[in-house]
Structure 1
Amino acid sequence: MSAPASAFHDLDHYVALPRVSGLTLSPDGSRLVTTVATLNRKGTGYASALWELDPTGERPAHRITRSSKGEAGAAFGVDGALYFTSSRPDPEGEEDEAATALWHIPAQGGEARVVLSRAGGISGVFCAENADRVVVTGGLLPGAGSEEEHATLRKRRKDAGVDAILHSSYPIRYWDHDLGPEVPHVFSVQRGPSPRPGADESGDTEGEARSPLPGTTDRAPEMHLRLLTGGTFPALHDPSPIIAPDGTFALLPVTIPEARASLREGIARVDLATGDRQTLFDQEGQEASPGPISPDGTRAVVVVGRTTSPTEPPQPRLQLMDTTSGELAPLAPDWELWATPMAWLPDASAVLVLADSDGRRPVFRVDVANGEVTQLTHDDAAWSELAVSPDGTTAYGVRSSYLFPPEVVRLDLASGEVTRLPGPVDRPTIPGRLEEVETTTADGARVRGWLALPQDRPGPEGHPLLLWIHGGPLGSWNAWTWRWNPWLMTARGYAVLLPDPALSTGYGQDFIQRGWGAWGDAPYTDLMAITDAVEARADIDASRTAAMGGSFGGYMANWVAGHTDRFKAVVTHASLWGLDAFGSTTDAAFYWQREMTQEMSGKHSPHLYVDQIVSPMLVIHGDKDYRVPIGEGLRLWYELLSRSGRPAEPDGSTVHRFLYFPHENHWILAPQHAKVWYAVVLAFLAEHVLGEEPEALPEVLGLVAPQKDEA
């Protein structure tokens, strides 16, 4: 069998492509570590390994961990030791239940060893830059006052076969998992043996937790845990502590309850030695998230914005926060882009931030003294994971674009020169080319996007076109995606349009305001306007087009289906259908209640236009999707077959299809399911857009292949 022209011509090859993510830099700037996910032997998942890269770019990357379970969450200690989390077996342990433990590789190298394990596992590890301070996160049962009690309660639940959870507050689930009964907490890792039961170093049992290291040897020092966020500490939804460089304190995002089951985000400070805490930000009508702390620990860059309303979208802005008093001072207050602060320069003169901008996500330098913003990178790429060298001359980051997946690069902060470092993964061959397109709408707005085109010249009629609508809706098509990859489509002859309509980020506040609370208006007309412009090209066949989208993009695909018959097919994934019911069932109902009034939801709900749908629709939904619950997909499917302009026939047959994944969430993550997803989508498009005979679907679906007449 001959090899495919590219990995994108064969789904088996595509899902086997290694995937780079994350970046951490050692305190002395001599070592970079990233994570590479590769397909497991069964082809049913990915296992991550840690790889080290040479910051100078002189030596090739090399792998430093290896296990079938994989590793994640790499962080360097001040002494150069590398910490990470993994659920792989501990050769010296005696755990009955596999749990994610804290592992350690000494700075001088050697075998990775478990330094701390606990019932229920460890979810993350964080280290101070200039001090011997290690912090971890993990779950703790509310009734437990110590690690021993926590382990006992977990065992009782398991032995009794009980998984019931009693809630007294909102929310009760998130994304694809139930919240509780364990509550997220932050712990300080203490060196030395665990204190005797019933007393910690201060003699106070409240807030103390410990975990004796199983299988301790003289080469793996014993450690234990001290609970930092117990008692009356505000709720932590997804604890990601920002640790001061000197290791004395950390800033934490905290969840603040409000009336009518609403929530908003604030900032708390916790002393990492004593556990003393104070709330630095708790303002009604405002939300905040912590960012990096200055080298001297006196200030932090935080993002502060108003809580949304039906008429007011988010408007996040950079602020400098005094880490003792919580006092705020605006930083670049007139800059409209939504920035994410990443790192201070060592001399504290400026902060490096990332922000969506015109279909890219560049690196910007923000001067702390005067708020002046300077764009440092000008490549057609989206950056993430930024770290600064100790001398302040260089930054390292992960970037991607639609022409290449994530890769580690070096940025000269003086010249802006970007150098790709020798990494663990080669760039795949792209079966096509990329162009930038734009148009001006009837109301004078500029709408732009990316157009992925096949490598081969089109036939006389032009390439068939797929309109892909991004989710969010506050987002932008600017970075590589494994879940919605246009090159799998160009490999089969399609052109793929990736537009940024109203509500997209990177075009200023007014562009977001155009679509706020009115999803069916400007976002829809923007999409149709740029589709018109692309269909007018000589290399595009306007008679063979389809619309596709997921999440908000799925909502818009449903809206498109009910408002035009121009598309030969519509693919709607994890989509909102009935806005009258959706708001109370999503995992963050309070946010939805802020965003739309009942009148707005009624006016812009796709289900009201089901009788006008005539395009064949492929509905896709995962049962573990708590962001857009499965009820949306079930209702859409029933109403499509019973009430649409193209309902099911009397014998039950229909042109529509419903692809259902019982164990997937908002995204289709398992590689074997990703292959099914793409195979079914391609077969559906081939039939209805290209007019071809129905393709044989994957045998794993349990379907009988269509019989062909013999010559």
Structure 2
Amino acid sequence: MTLESHPTPFSSLDDYVALPRVESLALSPDGQRVVLTVATLTRDQTSYERALWSVSADGTGIPTRLTRSVKGESGAAFTASGDILFVSARADAAADKPDKLDKDAEAAQLWLLPACGGEARAITRLAGGVSGIAAVTTAATSLVIAADLLPSAADLEADALARKERTEKKVVAILHESYPVRFWDHDLGPAEPHLLALDLADLHDTITGPVSSTEADAPAPYPADLPRPRDLTPSPGRTMDTAGQALTPDGSTLIVALRVAEQRSGRYVLVSLDVATGAQTVLFDEPKVDFESPNVSLDGRQIAFVRSAMSTPVGPADQELWVADLDGGHPRRLAADWDRWPTSLIFDAPHAVGPHAGVTTALIVTADHDGRGPIFRVPLDGGAPEQLTTDDFSYTNVCVDAQTGDLVALRSSWIAPAHPVLIGRSGTVTMLATPAPLPDVPGTITEVETRAEDGARVRAWLLLPAAEDGARVRAWLLLPAGAAQEHPAPLLLWIHGGPLNSWNAWSWRWSPLLAVARGYAVLLPDPALSTGYGLDFIARGWNAWGAKPYTDLLAIVDAAEKLPEIDETLTAAMGGSFGGYMANWVAGHTDRFRAIVSHASLWSLDQFNGTTDDSQYWQSIFSAQGMIDNSPHRAVRDIVTPMLVIHGDHDYRVPIGESLRLWSELAEHHATANGSTQHKFLFFPDENHWVLGPQHAVVWYETVFAFLDQHVHGAGWKRPRLLG
């Protein structure tokens, strides 16, 4: 497909970070309205603020903004009556003026925007705030929220008092009694995650009367005009780090995937929780098996979930679709021969007419598939899945209209950011109105594939013949405008993270169009370990990251370099997370690239083993010998390619020690006598795994492009202005 060649927002980093971004979607109970959460750049250009917008679900009309606040809104959901729930740290006019010492005074709360119009009002006032809406039903007044409470607190008032005392004494210390202690970019504790039930029928318009306390240090009572949250999970430890939950339509039962702690490890069991009493009934529990992503049918009679045995160094385990009765009876696996991993699942709407009128006969499932993320309809009778969407897009946030069976979702590709669409039962797709129109993009996109070293399929975009007897490797290839045999473009190999991942959907953090706008061709391959090609394709790289994934990458680069539009003498490579690992591995095992960018990368696997926030999982997928054989640091002396190392100090998934050691060893083995080196290290003291600040993202790209231009094109080094 050919794209616009005139100037686009991707030509300017300032214009790029200012593009509005659709982040999530919710469908009203009557199927008439869609609420979008949209992020826009703040006036000072240092962060993003989020607001809720309403659009028609049939593709007509124009977007209407629903909320506006300094703190922004997120996590929208509908109640049975059509009111909109959301989470926000905006000021609550009905609350007491907060103590200046109270850091939790601006904690996010749950808010309700009436369907009939009027101001939004806060419907919780928890000292530690609300983490999110855990589950809501559009047929009852019950809902469940997630919130953190201190382990010593017997009730909500005690939690508020304990938090106030910690704040006044300036105590931030945390005593850990279990593993883990960190997650991605934040410390865990001292508060623990809880699930709290709310009944909106208890929400009143007037306060029944103030309750005074005779003791100055006594906790203030929870507001009587608000529905009092009921703790469904007292003394949970870390067990409320759930893997999904869903309410029955009547709001009486919560099906939840609860974490069971086992030494350092944890696994998820499927539990039925009575919302009125908190009583728990275990439905599915197997050693070394996870039960995740539960969903309840619209009639409340069935549940669906994902069952997956834990992987071992021997090989990856499959992820299976299962359904059962609400009480766990009659469990059965669906689509047993379907070699794809579900990324989301919901029940289809009941049939309106015919022999199955009033009956739900399928699940609606998304899954990575051949470099895309389509929607599938999976029959409950065990029949083969039907691919509902067949375009080059990936779909997320899928919602079912219970009346018509139509779907609404967000879809995206590498040339289109996430945007809302309506999908008919036959698979027809209609774009909905959006306050974030799709931007013009530079260049062209095509598909490339070749045969891997072992005959496996390696794919990218621009289809080339593949061997009849072997697997192939494929990728997306984005070409700049004007790239031709007379004017071939330099090639950037971008390696995805994960590694259980696929280059199949838009990413605001990694935008190849920014490089395309600067004249580079960008190759986005799915090597061994990538999802969407079957379990065997993943297994090819299992416990051997430096083997087939590496040779797959070289094979697809070979194929791309044969294209007349590519200058095979001007190539570079870059990647983040697992992609950073592969960038490090590439650097130590070939000199074919002119420059290598390594972001948030794994360097020394023995060191990473005990410092990542989830070392148990890491040890479950690698053998001791595998860690030794596949550690990039062992080839540091063989590195000849200039490297740009990038890391954020708040990255706990791949701790900063990886890049600190990489930088130290590059200096040890490759610095000159006066300490100078061809390598560079870009460090973000307050960023995490992704580098999310808008201006930090600008600095990230400015540094990357300056480094690439220096070593790919021989340009003089141009230090980004904001780096001093």
Q: TM-score normalised to the size of structure 2? A: 0.91
Gap change, CA 1:210 and 1:25, over 3 Å in 2: farther
For 1:208-357, what aligned pairs fall within 5 Å after superposition?
A: 212-213=222-223, 222-231=226-235, 235-238=239-242, 240-259=244-263, 261-325=264-328, 328-347=331-350, 348-357=360-369
The one-letter code sitting in structure 2 at the alignment partner of 1:187 is: L
The answer to whether structure 1 residue 119 and structure 2 residue 127 are counterparts is yes
The one-letter code sitting in structure 2 at the alignment partner of 1:539 is: E
The one-letter code sitting in structure 2 at the alignment partner of 1:549 is: G
Deviation at 1:442, TM superposition (A): 2.8
The one-letter code sitting in structure 2 at the alignment partner of 1:466 is: L
Partner in structure 2 of residue 108 of structure 1: 116
Distance in 2 (CA, whole Å) between partners of 1:174 and 1:655 is 34
Distance in 2 (CA, whole Å) between partners of 1:575 and 1:238 is 28
The answer to whether structure 1 residue 137 and structure 2 residue 146 are counterparts is yes
Partner in structure 1 of residue 707 of structure 2: 684
Gap change, CA 1:232 and 1:689, over 3 Å in 2: closer
Does the Cα contact within 8 Å between 1:185 and 1:239 map onto a contact in 2?
no
For 1:572-651, what aligned pairs fall within 5 Å after superposition?
A: 572-643=598-669, 647-651=670-674
The answer to whether structure 1 residue 661 and structure 2 residue 665 are counterparts is no
The one-letter code sitting in structure 1 at the alignment partner of 2:693 is: A
Partner in structure 2 of residue 146 of structure 1: 155
The answer to whether structure 1 residue 424 and structure 2 residue 435 are counterparts is yes
Partner in structure 2 of residue 705 of structure 1: none
Does the Cα contact within 8 Å between 2:258 and 2:269 map onto a contact in 1?
yes
1:584 match: secondary structure: helix
Structure 2 stretches of 5 or more lacking a match? 1-5, 99-104, 212-218, 351-359, 457-471
Partner in structure 1 of residue 447 of structure 2: 436
The one-letter code sitting in structure 1 at the alignment partner of 2:260 is: I
What whole-Å deviation, never above 9, does each CA across 1:318-376 have from its counterpart, x for those lacking one? 01133313663111111110013432122211110000000000000011123331000
Among 173, 177, 180, which residue is 2:182 paired with? 173
Among 531, 542, 547, which residue is 1:505 paired with? 531
Distance in 2 (CA, whole Å) between partners of 1:210 and 1:542 is 70
Among 479, 493, 496, which residue is 2:505 paired with? 479
2:556 match: secondary structure: helix
Among 61, 64, 67, which residue is 1:65 paired with? 67
Deviation at 1:137, TM superposition (A): 1.1
Does the Cα contact within 8 Å between 1:342 and 1:387 map onto a contact in 2?
no
The one-letter code sitting in structure 1 at the alignment partner of 2:164 is: K
The one-letter code sitting in structure 1 at the alignment partner of 2:170 is: G
Partner in structure 1 of residue 354 of structure 2: none
Does the Cα contact within 8 Å between 1:187 and 1:227 map onto a contact in 2?
yes
Deviation at 1:196, TM superposition (A): 12
Distance in 2 (CA, whole Å) between partners of 1:604 and 1:405 is 35
Distance in 1 (CA, whole Å) between partners of 2:68 and 2:209 is 36
Does the Cα contact within 8 Å between 2:242 and 2:259 map onto a contact in 1?
no
The one-letter code sitting in structure 2 at the alignment partner of 1:514 is: R
The one-letter code sitting in structure 2 at the alignment partner of 1:659 is: L
The one-letter code sitting in structure 2 at the alignment partner of 1:666 is: H
Gap change, CA 1:196 and 1:143, over 3 Å in 2: farther
Deviation at 1:268, TM superposition (A): 1.8
Gap change, CA 1:251 and 1:234, over 3 Å in 2: farther
Structure 1 stretches of 5 or more lacking a match? 199-208, 703-711
Does the Cα contact within 8 Å between 1:303 and 1:340 map onto a contact in 2?
no
Does the Cα contact within 8 Å between 1:342 and 1:385 map onto a contact in 2?
no
What whole-Å deviation, never above 9, does each CA across 1:588-610 have from its counterpart, x for those lacking one? 00001111111011011000000
The one-letter code sitting in structure 2 at the alignment partner of 1:131 is: A
Does the Cα contact within 8 Å between 2:21 and 2:418 map onto a contact in 1?
yes
Distance in 2 (CA, whole Å) between partners of 1:196 and 1:444 is 76
Among 377, 401, 407, which residue is 2:389 paired with? 377
Does the Cα contact within 8 Å between 2:450 and 2:559 map onto a contact in 1?
yes
Distance in 1 (CA, whole Å) between partners of 2:720 and 2:590 is 31
Does the Cα contact within 8 Å between 1:234 and 1:254 map onto a contact in 2?
no
For 1:376-525, what aligned pairs fall within 5 Å after superposition?
A: 376-413=388-425, 415-445=426-456, 446-458=472-484, 460=486, 462-525=488-551
Among 52, 55, 78, which residue is 1:53 paired with? 55
Distance in 2 (CA, whole Å) between partners of 1:232 and 1:64 is 36
Does the Cα contact within 8 Å between 2:40 and 2:49 map onto a contact in 1?
yes
Does the Cα contact within 8 Å between 1:341 and 1:354 map onto a contact in 2?
yes
Gap change, CA 1:144 and 1:651, over 3 Å in 2: same
Distance in 1 (CA, whole Å) between partners of 2:172 and 2:14 is 37
The one-letter code sitting in structure 1 at the alignment partner of 2:424 is: D
Gap change, CA 1:254 and 1:310, over 3 Å in 2: same
Aligned residues: 677
Does the Cα contact within 8 Å between 1:47 and 1:68 map onto a contact in 2?
yes
Distance in 2 (CA, whole Å) between partners of 1:330 and 1:55 is 33
Does the Cα contact within 8 Å between 2:647 and 2:659 map onto a contact in 1?
yes
Does the Cα contact within 8 Å between 1:281 and 1:326 map onto a contact in 2?
no
Deviation at 1:458, TM superposition (A): 4.3
Gap change, CA 1:94 and 1:301, over 3 Å in 2: same
Distance in 1 (CA, whole Å) between partners of 2:370 and 2:209 is 59
1:538 match: secondary structure: coil
Distance in 1 (CA, whole Å) between partners of 2:156 and 2:589 is 58
Gap change, CA 1:233 and 1:181, over 3 Å in 2: closer
Deviation at 1:296, TM superposition (A): 2.6
Does the Cα contact within 8 Å between 1:186 and 1:239 map onto a contact in 2?
no
Does the Cα contact within 8 Å between 1:447 and 1:530 map onto a contact in 2?
yes
Does the Cα contact within 8 Å between 1:211 and 1:225 map onto a contact in 2?
no
RMSD, matched Cα = 1.9
Identity of aligned residues (%): 48
1:256 match: secondary structure: strand
Distance in 2 (CA, whole Å) between partners of 1:74 and 1:421 is 18
The answer to whether structure 1 residue 542 and structure 2 residue 568 are counterparts is yes
